[in-house]
Amino acid sequence: MYTRAMKILVATPIYPPEIGGPATYTKELCERLHKDHQITVVAYTDVREAFPGTTLIPVSKRRPLPIRLIKYFWAVWHASKDCDLIYVQNAMAAGLPVALASKLRGKPFILKFVGDEAWERASQHKLTNKRLEEFLEKPEGPQRIRLMMRTQGWVLRQASVVTTPSEYLGKAIQKAYKLDHKRVITNYNAADETETLPFEPKLTKHQIVATARLVNFKGIDGIIRAVAILKKKYSDVRFVCAGDGPETENLQKLIKELGVEKEVQLLGRVSRAETWQWRKNSEVYVLNSTYEGLPHTALTSFAAEIPMVATNIPGTNEAVYDDETGLLVPAGDDQALADAISKLFDNPDLEKRLVQNAKKLLQTKFSWENHLKELNGFFQSVVAKPSK
């Protein structure tokens, strides 16, 4: 397919070396897009080094939120003057300034929506126990949460196209925010490129690994409880978790209460290379979330060739197929989680089969070739005939 060269402004809320889906995605996206397009990146970061072949406009994260938003808006405003379109990775911190600049400049923007920030904020602060669909239907929390939803809805409705990483998430926001279904399109994420490791991997038997921001809906507490169960059968079981977040202190208390200080290690924030090293050194990867749009970490684990146990929830089950590319368990069932991990520990042939099937799925459903083909199609159609 012919790809017209364009000037594209990529707006992101986080930027490497920070760990997180938008940061990793932006880096790998720019590595591919700059071959055909002129790329400028506006990001909340104090880094000054741009990706090869791109221009970086950093907005410092060391200012109060209102100041950051204003500075981000001005950065987008100036950078968008000569661009053909804006591609933004977030509906609030980056999305709101982009939507305002887009409206004033008359420049179209495409929004990649990977998670509802109002629901995530309410869940993180324990203002709701509802799952995403229930929350969107009947929101809970103080006025600021409802204001976030109204703001987010307005931004979504300004976008020429909203892409989501799963059909589940697309249908959920389409209904909640009354979006035109023609503008909400699923474009599955692609897996990270395989990391070149500084050290040869060395598999540690009965070692479990997870990488996650430590918020309650990621279910790290459930993995810790599963480890306490597994400890009775496997004296050498070990769980390492990369990531930080507001639940760190609560998880440390739980580790102490269950007496698994020797079995569980919270690594805190580590580099991307280190997360790959931990995956390659471990026997099982666990994703115990109660919510995922579509978990990028699952695709990374597929690429790292580590068998996975995950919760059977919408979004996740668009990538992890039970007994095919991983094992699925009910969300919140610690015993079922422990049993599934034990099943993999005791069955190397099953581990091997799941890894082989997962790699095949990456090549067919979650390849960069497919992702970029869809994305370039959006770019071309929006520039040719903006919907706003």
Structure-token pair, residue 20: 């997180």
Domains in the chain (CATH in brackets) are 7-190+367-384 (3.40.50.2000), 207-364 (3.40.50.2000)
Report the predicted TM-score, pTM, of the whole model to 2 decimal places.
0.85
112 closest CA partner among 153, 159, 76, 150: 159
Instruction: Write down the residue that tokens 């919140």 correspond to.
Output: 332
What is the rounded distance in angstroms from the CA atom of residue 206 to the CA atom of residue 49?
40
183: its two tokens: 């503008």
- pLDDT top residue among 191 and 347: 347
pLDDT bin (cut points 50, 70, 90) of residue 1 is very low
350 sits in which H/E element: helix 348-364
CA-CA distance, 171 to 265, in Å (whole number)? Answer: 38
pLDDT tens per residue, range 92-126:
999 999 999 999 999 999 999 998 999 999 988 88
Would you give the DSSP letter of residue 351? H
66/378 Cα distance (integer angstroms): 32
Q: Name the band, by pLDDT with cuts 50, 70 and 90, for residue 3.
A: low
Range 24-46 average pLDDT: 93
Adjacent-strand bridge partners of 43: 12, 58
Distances (CA, A) of 89 to 17, 163, 264, 324, 343: 17, 10, 34, 31, 38
The residue type at 60: S
- How many whole angstroms separate alpha carbon 208 and alpha carbon 281? 9
Per the DSSP assignment, residues forming a β-bridge with 322 are 326
Mean pLDDT of 308-319: 96
CB 37 within 8 A of CB 115: no
Phi, psi of 60 (to 5 degrees): -60, 140
Whether the predicted pLDDT of 257 surpasses 60: yes
